[in-house]
Structure 1
Amino acid sequence: MGKLDGRVAIVTGGGRGIGRATAELFAREGACVVVATRSEAPGAETVAAIRSAGGEACLDVVDMGQRRDVAAMVERAVTTYGGLDIVLHNAAYIPFGAIGELADADLDKVFDVGLKACFWLAADALPHLEKSSHARILITSSLAGTRRNFVNLVHYGALKAGVNGFIRGAALELARKGINVAGIEPGLVLGHALRESASDEALDAMASVIPIPRVGMPAEIAQGFLYLASDEARYITGQTIAIDGGISVGRLDNLKFDRLP
């Protein structure tokens, strides 16, 4: 028996990294998974991997920055699998740029895909989630939303702060409807972008500032989402969980004393 047997889940950004790892894990635990992604090829790879392992999944090529696309995706999921229990919004658009350097179109896309889509997805899924006894709205947030900020990614921090505000507010609003809302705040994770852009030396430098001295793996974030999606987390709502190797509490090399301070 899997932890998600018989449940239907949508995972946006499901073609790579955290999204792919979570989609595959949900399927292994018995869920029927809609792998939603803007890029068809990586999404198809995720679906193929799930099916080859004996799981059930389908691909939905969707632009999460478009209101009509989100609504159509939800309806296709319900038509395909007969209901909806879990929506996990993991898709994001994150360009680099200092304040004043990003074009308005890029800023609009950052917030359309990352934040407004939370509202759209929740609104469109709501009539179906209300029929589920295991309803979850889950979102990939970030330490940048609450605890850390990054140069040239001010928009990312603002986005994730908004996401965390959505999680708290939606949890309060939807609790009496039987819908739990929660998120994960990953630390440095060896997803697709980091694999493509970071050298071994850069990864070593990142690891050196993390109390557990390595970057995280997408599968470790997926385990957090599995917990939040499972019945074991039925009393958790309005919360985000940091899975970050301890970096949110500080660097160990800053906590060495010759005597108690």
Structure 2
Amino acid sequence: MTQGTNLKGKVAVITGASSGLGERFAELLSGAGATVALAARRTDRLAALAEKVNAAGGRAITVKLDVNDYDNVQGAFAEVTGKLGGVDILVNNSGVSRQARITDVTPEDYDFIMDTNTKGAFFVAQAAAKEMIAKGKAGRIINIASVAGLRVLSQLSVYCMSKAAVVQMTKAMALEWARYGINTNAICPGYIETEINREYWSTPGGKKLMEMLPRKRVGEPKDLDGLLLLLASDEARFLNGAIIAADDGLAVT
């Protein structure tokens, strides 16, 4: 898929594109020919990524997006449609987490996680689907859930709840939007090393956790490349409502 996928003529919106998986997804879809709209709150990081994409021969625009601001979400998608003519692919990637025992979770912790991971993801997908439906365009919505939506991870209760909601949200959207030619699927990554958590994996706690994983290793962002390209492509026309774990076997342990 990484060599043959052709997304030329497609417009892809990637949320949380300022770092980590979002940054990788943006470069990957651009490399496959898509015009990419890079969306996040940190516009300085977006500008640097857009420059990199454009220098490599792709086309990228930046859009300031706070998934917790409903009006901003509507405005961001209107901006993308105005500049690029519509939305064909959404990678619904923004997400946050905080580690705490259940007895220590505060209302602020709860709202911080649920507002971004569940409510924010819902209204971002809704905005993308509205644009697709209004234009009469078939589309691809790829929700980035987590293995935490399929099994419980220690001291991540609210995060697990939020990602389990994304799993059910994906299925509901797939059912409701199928008639419009919109395929909605979810990727549930396991532990992936990114710039945010890289130092953790060299700590005693990180090493202990790695030893508990099925193959005693964590993934790299590139390990999701083939799956993301498949779900974004026309070859995924019969994949709708799929919840796919990309976790090196963690979900089945």
Same fold at TM > 0.5:
yes
Alpha-carbon offset, residue 140 of structure 1? 0.6
Report the AA paired with residue 137 of structure 1. Answer: I
Equivalent of residue 223 in structure 1, options 207, 222, 226:
226
- Deviation track 1:106-137 (CA, whole Å, cap 9, x = no partner) reads 32221121111232123222232123544011
Aligned equivalent of 2:110: 107
Aligned equivalent of 1:191: 194
Q: Tell whether the 8 Å contact from 1:142 to 1:185 is kept in structure 2 after alignment.
A: yes
1:65-80 to 2 correspondence within 5 Å?
A: 65-80=68-83
Alpha-carbon offset, residue 200 of structure 1? 6.2
SS in 2 for 1:193: coil
SS in 1 for 2:102: coil
- Deviation track 1:168-211 (CA, whole Å, cap 9, x = no partner) reads 11100111111100010111101122114331665554443334
2:185 is the alignment partner of 1:182:
yes
Alpha-carbon offset, residue 22 of structure 1? 0.6
Rounded to whole Å, the distance in 2 between the matches of 1:241 and 1:207 is: 22
TM-score (norm 1): 0.88
Equivalent of residue 86 in structure 2, options 61, 83, 88:
83
Aligned equivalent of 1:57: 60
Rounded to whole Å, the distance in 2 between the matches of 1:76 and 1:102 is: 37
Aligned equivalent of 2:121: 118
Identity %: 33
Report the AA paired with residue 234 of structure 1. Answer: R
Report the AA paired with residue 99 of structure 1. Answer: I
Report the AA paired with residue 165 of structure 2. Answer: G
Rounded to whole Å, the distance in 1 between the matches of 2:180 and 2:189 is: 28
Alpha-carbon offset, residue 167 of structure 1? 0.4
Q: Tell whether the 8 Å contact from 1:85 to 1:128 is kept in structure 2 after alignment.
A: no
> Structure 1 residues 225 and 62, CA, compared in 2 at 3 Å: closer, same or farther?
same
Aligned equivalent of 2:171: 168
2:142 is the alignment partner of 1:138:
yes
Mean Cα deviation higher: 129-138 or 3-12: 129-138
Rounded to whole Å, the distance in 2 between the matches of 1:29 and 1:210 is: 32
Report the AA paired with residue 25 of structure 1. Answer: L
> Structure 1 residues 118 and 212, CA, compared in 2 at 3 Å: closer, same or farther?
same
Aligned equivalent of 1:22: 25
TM-score (norm 2): 0.91
2:46 is the alignment partner of 1:43:
yes
Q: Tell whether the 8 Å contact from 2:200 to 2:206 is kept in structure 1 after alignment.
A: no
SS in 1 for 2:30: helix
- RMSD (Å) for aligned C-alpha atoms: 1.9
Rounded to whole Å, the distance in 1 between the matches of 2:233 and 2:78 is: 23
SS in 1 for 2:213: coil
Unaligned runs of 5+ in 1: 251-261
1:139-158 to 2 correspondence within 5 Å?
A: 139-146=143-150, 148-158=151-161
- Deviation track 1:40-63 (CA, whole Å, cap 9, x = no partner) reads 233223222211211111112221
2:34 is the alignment partner of 1:31:
yes
Q: Tell whether the 8 Å contact from 2:138 to 2:180 is kept in structure 1 after alignment.
A: no
Q: Tell whether the 8 Å contact from 1:85 to 1:132 is kept in structure 2 after alignment.
A: no
Rounded to whole Å, the distance in 2 between the matches of 1:210 and 1:49 is: 35
Alpha-carbon offset, residue 156 of structure 1? 0.5
Rounded to whole Å, the distance in 2 between the matches of 1:62 and 1:176 is: 28
